[in-house]
């Protein structure tokens, strides 16, 4: 009822013209950026960009976007810039880190601070829908969760970066699923701990028993039913970006549109409510780039995490559950094996917020307790939510500057 009442008020306000829209020039610029990909956005703002192809050990072809320096921090002969791999979350891409522009977007902040910035794109998203032999429309291509992202994609990206730069170690920053992939990698392939200077977890996701997102709660409750229906329908990719989504963002979510507040409310329903930190003018550009595609199995794996706990079970951070017989065949045991957090010895900084509806405080504390070399940083804004780590107006002051400060100690 409250949402319905708010919607009526929004319509009335918009129709009466009470809210003054930003300049037409600014709106046109945002709509123009909605058509651009990551390299084009970087070039528009005068930042250099390189496109690199990485082949995983199971033959997926990934695209990485590199920002080797910035106009603020140019290359100096004989001086190497420390590399950092920045990894997106679920349904996202490298575009997340550049959409908000210089001075606000994380990629620009890092490049300006003197780092060699590599933006990853995991298998199945907008920039990484290729394989050496598998067709993108085949069941085999989409048969992966974030477990495969962790044991194949991230190691391939790290190996490539270190080979190109000649460095022995790099920094790693991930958001949401970008953190999950890292935990999987360093627990299943612990030799990669030695290749990490420090890791920054923005909105860390491992255990999920105490997340409060209404969207993911609903999705997880029907996980088994949804899995069957999607399989019967032959749906393997979840929410790919397409022209319809792009058009909806430009028409329904632009400044002055009646439905703009509804667009922002959808984001808040998933991630936590915080209207103050969201620049609603940027919604058409955000929705044009996100969702960037994901496998159904990635979402189902998270749903299993949410459902793994009970009254007498604290819940699990573990591999994909194929059912008791499937687990016995794949793992040699009736339930999936848990990831061993004690093997993650690289320095890990957990940057979290109290209003994050996906990364619950009790789940973060449990993750912290299980990591041998972990540090915590509570974002000093109570209303900061899960997506604010990407697009908040004050993300630099509240989060990014903290990571840059810590990196100087390494």
How many whole angstroms separate alpha carbon 351 and alpha carbon 365? 12
pLDDT number for residue 286: 83
Return the CATH architecture of domain 25-307+339-407. Answer: 3-Layer(aba) Sandwich (3.40)
Q: What is the mean pLDDT of residues 255-261?
A: 48
How many whole angstroms separate alpha carbon 8 and alpha carbon 397? 35
CA neighbor of 92 nearest in space, from 213, 261, 270: 270
Query: Does the structure show a pLDDT above 50 at 14?
Result: no
Q: What is the mean pLDDT of residues 52-60?
A: 98
**Residue positions annotated with a catalytic role:** 176, 386
pLDDT number for residue 213: 82
More confident residue, 44 or 283: 44
Q: What is the mean pLDDT of residues 138-165?
A: 97
Query: Does the structure show a pLDDT above 80 at 207?
Result: yes
pLDDT number for residue 9: 34
pLDDT (tens digit, 9 = 90+) per residue, 344-359?
999 999 999 999 989 9
Tokens linked to 20 = 């003054």
Look at residue 113 and give its three-state secondary structure.
coil
Query: Does the structure show a pLDDT above 80 at 234?
Result: no
Residue 63 — pLDDT band, cuts 50, 70, 90?
very high
Query: Using alpha carbons only, what angle is made at residue 97 by residues 94 and 100, rounded to the nearest 5 degrees?
Result: 130
pLDDT number for residue 225: 59
- What does pTM read for this prediction? 0.87
Domain segments of the chain: what residues? 25-307+339-407
- Tell me which H or E stretch contains 6: helix 2-16
Quickly list H helices, 290-387: 296-307, 324-331, 361-370
pLDDT number for residue 2: 36
CA neighbor of 36 nearest in space, from 246, 279, 239: 246
Query: Does the structure show a pLDDT above 50 at 10?
Result: no
Query: Using alpha carbons only, what angle is made at residue 197 by residues 196 and 200, rounded to the nearest 5 degrees?
Result: 85
Distances (CA, A) of 174 to 89, 223, 377: 7, 26, 15
pLDDT (tens digit, 9 = 90+) per residue, 118-130?
999 999 999 999 9
pLDDT number for residue 79: 85
Q: What is the mean pLDDT of residues 187-205?
A: 98
How many whole angstroms separate alpha carbon 126 and alpha carbon 282? 20
Number of H helices, E strands in the chain: 18, 11
Tokens linked to 37 = 């990909």
Query: Does the structure show a pLDDT above 80 at 389?
Result: yes
Query: Does the structure show a pLDDT above 50 at 20?
Result: no
């Amino acid at each position: 009822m409250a949402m319905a009442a708010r919607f009526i008020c929004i319509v009335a306000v918009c129709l009466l013209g009470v809210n003054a829209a930003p300049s037409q020039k600014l709106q046109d610029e945002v709509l123009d950026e909605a058509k651009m990909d990551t390299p084009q956005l970087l070039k528009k703002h005068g930042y250099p960009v390189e496109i690199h192809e990485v082949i995983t050990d199971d033959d997926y072809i990934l695209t990485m976007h590199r920002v080797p320096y910035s106009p603020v921090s140019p290359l100096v002969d004989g001086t190497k810039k420390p590399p950092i791999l920045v990894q997106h979350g679920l349904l996202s891409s490298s575009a997340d880190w550049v959409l908000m522009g210089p001075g606000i977007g994380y990629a620009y902040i890092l490049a300006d601070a003197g780092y060699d910035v590599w933006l990853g794109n995991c298998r199945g998203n907008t920039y990484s829908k290729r394989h050496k032999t598998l067709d993108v429309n085949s069941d085999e291509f989409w048969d992966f969760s974030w477990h495969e992202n962790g044991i194949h994609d991230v190691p391939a990206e790290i190996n490539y970066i270190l080979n190109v730069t000649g460095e022995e170690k790099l920094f790693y920053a991930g958001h949401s699923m970008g953190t999950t992939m890292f935990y999987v990698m360093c627990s299943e392939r612990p030799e990669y701990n030695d290749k990490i200077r420090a890791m920054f977890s923005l909105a860390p996701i491992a255990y999920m028993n105490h997340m409060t997102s209404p969207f993911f709660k609903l999705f997880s409750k029907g996980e088994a039913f949804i899995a069957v229906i999607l399989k019967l329908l032959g749906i393997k990719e979840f929410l790919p970006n397409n022209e319809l989504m792009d058009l909806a963002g430009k028409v329904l979510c632009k400044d002055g549109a009646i439905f703009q507040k509804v667009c922002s409310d959808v984001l808040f329903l998933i991630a936590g409510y915080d209207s103050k930190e969201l620049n609603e003018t940027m919604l058409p550009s955000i929705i044009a780039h996100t969702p960037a595609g994901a496998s159904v199995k990635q979402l189902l794996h998270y749903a299993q995490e949410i459902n793994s706990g009970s009254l007498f079970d604290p819940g699990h951070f573990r591999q994909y559950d194929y059912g008791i017989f499937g687990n016995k065949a794949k793992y040699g045991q009736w339930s999936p094996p848990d990831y061993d957090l004690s093997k993650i010895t690289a320095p890990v900084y957990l940057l979290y917020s109290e209003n994050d509806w996906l990364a619950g405080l009790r789940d973060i504390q449990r993750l912290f307790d299980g990591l041998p070399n972990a540090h915590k940083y509570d974002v000093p804004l109570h209303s900061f939510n899960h997506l604010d780590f990407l697009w908040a107006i004050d993300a630099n002051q509240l989060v990014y500057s903290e990571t840059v400060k810590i990196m100087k100690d390494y």
